[in-house]
Chains A and B, each alone.
Chain A
Amino acid sequence: MKRRHFLVMGFCAAPFMLQVMAADYRKSNPDAWEASSIDTAALALYGKETFSTLQESAAIELVVPNVSIVDSQNIPIVIRSNMQARSVAVFQDTNPKSLVTVFKVGKEAVIDYEFTMRMDIKGTLFVVLEDLDGKLHYARKYVDIVALSCMSSEE
């Protein structure tokens, strides 16, 4: 009987591994951007196993305006942490879709991010940090937005 010979195909995977280096989370996790609840978006982004490690952390500093915001189209957000991380994501519970943004944290990066965002109505902002062990940590803040239609009745 003749013996069968099997080809080793592992080397064929190398070009595909290189593509993983560039992280566009909109392309790699499209479902996360369509989800309208935070849980669904986070599950789509991280997967069930990683999502189960989620715990609140004082090591993440999330700064949002303390006062009621009039300009809901330009809300300044600051995120800082000294933790080593793979990614930092921002979710909110008021806009039609929950996922706002995902930062990929590289070796040279410092977790000190600022950006401006919009929210339709007042709600809660969640920042989720994925550490190098694949565990999730979060901080949250309530963002209060003034409903301009009610202001004219005051005097």
Chain B
Amino acid sequence: MGNMKIKAKLKGDVVDVKVMAKHDMLTYDQAKKKGVDANFITHISAKANGKEVYDVSTSQFWSKDPQFKFSFKGAAAGDKVEITWTDLSGKTVTESKKIK
């Protein structure tokens, strides 16, 4: 836990979600200099009420500790938004937040 900072707020009929994911996002060049394997988040998805509301395939060109924002419809205050990321090493992290 504590890998992601999530804020989810309902404005009208749209939920705005802001996320900061803690990850080194080590590029192939940076990894080569350090003598380690590259590792960065490759996929992020979000679900609310069992429906997929965000799905993005990512690359080494997202920033370290990437911050991202997205919006979706079809949820109410009190519902939960669940966010999952997977990185190149296969590690998966899922965290959720109640919509305010």
Report which A residues bind B (CB closer than 8 A): 23-26, 33, 73-75, 92, 95-97, 99-104, 106-110, 112-119
Instruction: Report chain B residues within 8 Å CB of A73.
Output: 63-64
Chain A residues within 8 Å of B14, by CB: 110
CB distance from B19 to the nearest CB of A (A): 10
Instruction: Say whether B63 contacts A97, CB under 8 Å.
Output: no
Task: Let me know if A102 and B68 touch, CB within 8 A.
Answer: no
Q: Contacts A108-B73, A109-B70, A113-B70: A99 and B59 contacting too (C-beta < 8 A)?
A: yes
Q: In the complex, which range does the number of interface residues on chain B fall in? A: 20 to 34
- With both chains docked as a complex, state the minimum distance between the C-beta of A91 and any C-beta of chain B, in angstroms: 10
Given A115-B62, A117-B62; A103-B55 close (CB under 8 Å): yes
Nearest neighbor of B63 in chain A, beta-carbon distance: A116
- Contact check, B43 vs A103: say whether CB atoms are below 8 A apart: no
Q: How distant is the Cα of A103 from the Cα of B53 in the complex, in angstroms?
A: 11
Main secondary structure on B side of the interface with A: strand
Chain B residues within 8 Å of A97, by CB: 59-61
| Shortest distance from the beta carbon of A100 to any chain B beta carbon, whole Å | 5
Q: Which of A73, A113, A115 has the most CB of B within 10 A?
A: A115
CB-CB under 8 A for A110 and B71, given A26-B42, A73-B63, A118-B63: yes
Chain B residue with the shortest CB-CB distance to A97:
B59
Interface centre among B54, B58, B59, B74 (most CB of A within 10 A): B59
Q: Is the CB of A24 within 8 A of B61?
A: no
Minimum C-beta distance from B68 to chain A (A): 4
The 6 A-B pairs at the shortest CB distance, nearest first, are namely: A114-B69, A25-B57, A116-B63, A104-B55, A115-B68, A110-B71
Contacts of A104 in B (CB 8 A): 55-57
* Pair A109/B53 contact, Cβ less than 8 Å: yes
* Residue numbers in A under 8 Å from B3 (CB-CB): none
Instruction: Report B46-100 residues with CB < 8 Å from chain A CB.
Output: 48, 51-64, 66-75
Q: Which residue of B lies closest to A76 (CB)?
A: B67
A33 to B88 CA separation, bound complex (whole angstroms): 13
The residue on A at minimum CB distance from B62 is A117
CB-nearest residue of chain B relative to A95?
B61
Q: A110 — which chain B residues lie within 8 A by C-beta?
A: 14, 70-73
